[in-house]
């Protein structure tokens, strides 16, 4: 199952963020500023954010595995079309629709895991899944960046969509049939709206959703505008070399898996707050004008982010008393709404204050998330180890 979900994460997150590696090429072809070019990323994440709840309802009836297969297949087709978009406006629309299809994976994957894996292993399993999503995001950027530098951004996006298609086939072949899934039949049990509202009434779940919103917003802002900084003075790096900085995602692959294991022993809250501290340290280091220090800071920041995301996302189904798929879906609404809205807002800070504005903005979001977690999640189930 974890291997199948790794391929699902690869197909999903490679496509979702492939444009992030070629934003400078998009900006140059369509003659738009950096903040507008970043809308190609925000449109996809916004589409995903609005689609996760509807997808959770589909998955409650059709099944987790089947819903994920539909979502990945549709996204691959739309990703291929996006690479051929004749205008910037058409590209934005296709990216939004691609995000709508991609919403079926994060809306379903954690519920799929939680139903099929013993509860004592749930934190580790969630961490493993998040580690797989980092590999997907990394692969998409590392393919799109160098190919786009050589052949244009369209070729880079086409290459990523082709790889995602192969990963989608692997998911369908590997994903096991569900044994713990019980379909929600029409007219039986609470309605979709009731399941959503039940989870929105929980202050602890709202605090977890806020973690995704705030932290993902800062994370995407950092990665959206770092390329613009490094391709300008004093660094003057080519796009193909800048794309290698996405290898920092490998630190997230390691820390997300590690955070899941540690939180099972010491509790989720201490690990979450420690991860936020690591993010702040990494951001502080990126203020340097020395490229090696910028790289180190990015690696530290990325590792801290994915550790925090692993803990928060894995905490969601544990805190949900009903409508687990909707609870996971709401986390993803917050997570990708942060990516869409705050990731774009970071461009306003970049336009007026340069890199210090972006890094300071991301640091403020991390501090707000930490304060909220310390207050609202202190006594939550799973916050501390069971004695």
**Is the distance from CB of 373 to CB of 207 less than 8 angstroms?**
yes
C-alpha dist (Å) from residue 106 to 28, 110, 280, 384: 32, 7, 27, 26
Residue that is written with structure tokens 């869409």 in the block: 340
State if pTM tops 0.85: no
Query: pLDDT per residue over 210-262, tens digit each?
Result: 999 999 999 999 998 998 899 888 898 887 788 888 888 889 878 987 887 88
Query: pLDDT per residue over 59-117, tens digit each?
Result: 888 888 889 899 999 999 999 999 999 999 999 999 999 999 998 888 788 777 777 76
Question: Structural domains in the chain?
Answer: 2-175+192-376 (1.20.1250.20)
**What does the alpha-carbon distance between residue 7 and residue 129 come to, in Å, rounded to a whole number?**
10
| End-to-end Cα separation, the chain, in angstroms | 31
**What's residue 112's pLDDT?**
78
The secondary structure of 323-384 as a DSSP string is -HHHHHHHHHHHHHHHHHHHHHHHHHHHHHHHHHHHHHHHHHHHHHHHHHHHHHSTTSTTSS
**What's residue 106's pLDDT?**
80
Tokens of 57: 């309802």
**Which DSSP category does 231 fall into?**
T
Closest CA to 251 of 291, 211, 304, 294: 304
Residue that is written with structure tokens 């995903």 in the block: 48
Query: pLDDT per residue over 186-205, tens digit each?
Result: 656 677 788 888 888 899 99
**What does the alpha-carbon distance between residue 180 and residue 14 come to, in Å, rounded to a whole number?**
29
**What does the alpha-carbon distance between residue 197 and residue 284 come to, in Å, rounded to a whole number?**
39
**What does the alpha-carbon distance between residue 102 and residue 91 come to, in Å, rounded to a whole number?**
16
Query: pLDDT per residue over 334-345, tens digit each?
Result: 998 998 899 889
Percent of the residues in the chain that have a pLDDT greater than 70, as a whole number = 94
Q: pLDDT band at 123, cuts 50/70/90?
A: low
**What does the alpha-carbon distance between residue 183 and residue 384 come to, in Å, rounded to a whole number?**
33
Query: pLDDT per residue over 320-366, tens digit each?
Result: 877 777 888 889 889 989 988 998 899 899 989 999 999 999 999 99
Query: pLDDT per residue over 266-303, tens digit each?
Result: 999 999 999 999 999 999 999 999 999 999 999 999 99
Percent of the residues in the chain that have a pLDDT greater than 90, as a whole number = 47
C-alpha dist (Å) from residue 126 to 46, 94, 121: 23, 30, 9
**What's residue 159's pLDDT?**
96
**What's residue 135's pLDDT?**
82
């Amino acid at each position: 199952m974890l291997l199948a979900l790794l391929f699902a994460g690869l197909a999903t997150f490679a496509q979702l963020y492939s444009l992030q590696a070629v934003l400078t090429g998009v900006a140059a072809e369509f003659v738009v500023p950096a903040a507008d070019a970043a809308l190609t990323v925000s449109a996809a994440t916004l589409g995903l954010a609005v689609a996760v709840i509807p997808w959770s309802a589909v998955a409650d009836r059709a099944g987790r595995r089947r819903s994920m297969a539909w979502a990945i297949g549709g996204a691959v087709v739309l990703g291929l079309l996006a690479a051929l978009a004749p205008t910037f406006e058409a590209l934005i629309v296709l990216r939004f629709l691609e995000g709508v299809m991609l919403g079926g994976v994060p809306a379903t994957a954690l519920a799929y895991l939680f139903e099929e894996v013993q509860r004592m292993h749930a934190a580790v399993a969630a961490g493993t899944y998040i580690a797989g999503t980092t590999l997907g995001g990394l692969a998409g950027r590392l393919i799109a960046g160098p190919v786009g530098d050589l052949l244009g951004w369209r070729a880079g996006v086409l290459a990523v969509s082709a790889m995602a298609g192969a990963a989608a086939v692997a998911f369908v072949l590997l994903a096991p049939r569900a044994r713990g899934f019980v379909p929600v039949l029409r007219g039986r049990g609470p309605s979709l709206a009731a399941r959503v509202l039940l989870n929105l009434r929980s202050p602890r779940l709202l605090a977890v959703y806020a973690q995704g919103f705030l932290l993902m917003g800062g994370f995407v802002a950092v990665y959206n505008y770092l390329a613009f900084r490094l391709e300008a003075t004093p660094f003057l790096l080519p796009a193909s070399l800048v794309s290698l900085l996405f290898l920092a995602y490998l630190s997230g692959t390691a820390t997300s898996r590690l955070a899941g294991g540690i939180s099972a022993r010491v509790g989720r809250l201490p690990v979450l707050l420690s991860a936020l501290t690591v993010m702040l340290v990494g951001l502080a280091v990126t203020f340097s004008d020395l490229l090696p220090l910028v790289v180190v800071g990015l690696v530290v920041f990325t590792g801290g982010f994915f550790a925090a995301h692993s803990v928060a996302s894995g905490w969601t189904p544990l805190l949900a008393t009903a409508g687990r798929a909707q609870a996971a879906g709401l986390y993803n609404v917050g997570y990708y709404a942060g990516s869409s809205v705050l990731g774009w807002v970071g461009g306003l800070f970049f336009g007026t204050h340069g890199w210090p504005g972006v890094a300071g903005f991301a640091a403020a979001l991390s501090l707000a998330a930490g304060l909220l977690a310390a207050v609202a999640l202190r006594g939550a189930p799973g916050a501390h180890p069971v004695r």
